[in-house]
Amino acid sequence: MSDENHELEAHRPFVRDVNQEVSGVYGWGGFSILLTLSAWIGGVFLMNAETRVFSWLLALVVLLAGLKVLSGVLRKRRARTRERVSAYCDTNELQVEELREYFRQDDTYPFFMAVFEEPGKKTT
């Protein structure tokens, strides 16, 4: 292992923490949408309104609104996490791109990589 790789390897605990934090945000966000939608659909069945088109359209609207809110929360959290990673790299005299590339090769921290991706754009 070269000295440069050894230096970057020392930052693995930080990358692991960021990865776990971001995965938690995605997990809880998705769970909250599923819970809300399940509660809505459960209410529809309790009121015997499952044959009404309006009930299902409203369930779809609830789902889409939840996804929109989650998207905004994720975008803000991703920006804050990017700032945190940038500050960490500045403090440790690293380049953000260098840290990203090193751990991209490892492919162990997908949520850490997701912090740097823009929605709708695929990075190679």
What are the pLDDT digits (tens) for 12-57?
999 999 999 988 888 888 888 888 888 888 877 878 877 778 878 8
Least confident of 1-5, 40-44, 59-63: 1-5
Total domain count, the chain: 1
Range of the domain at 39: 3-114
Least trusted range by pLDDT, from 12-16, 77-81, 83-87, 117-121? 117-121
Predicted local confidence at residue 88, as pLDDT = 94
pTM score above 0.85: no
Q: Is residue 54 part of a domain?
A: yes
**Residue 111, both tokens:** 């949520």
- Average confidence score pLDDT of the chain: 84
- Look at residue 120 and tell me if it is in a domain: no
Helix axes 96-106, 12-46, angle to 10 degrees: 70
pLDDT given at position 4: 66
| pLDDT of the residue at 92 | 92
3/89: higher pLDDT: 89
- Asked, for residue 119, whether it belongs to a domain, the answer is no
Residue 105 lies in a domain: yes
For residue 119, the model assigns a pLDDT of 65
53 lies in some domain: yes
Mean pLDDT of 66-82: 87
Would you say residue 122 lies in a domain? no
Does 84 map to a domain? Answer: yes
| Percentage of the chain lying above the pLDDT 90 cut | 22
- Domain assignment of residue 123, yes or no: no
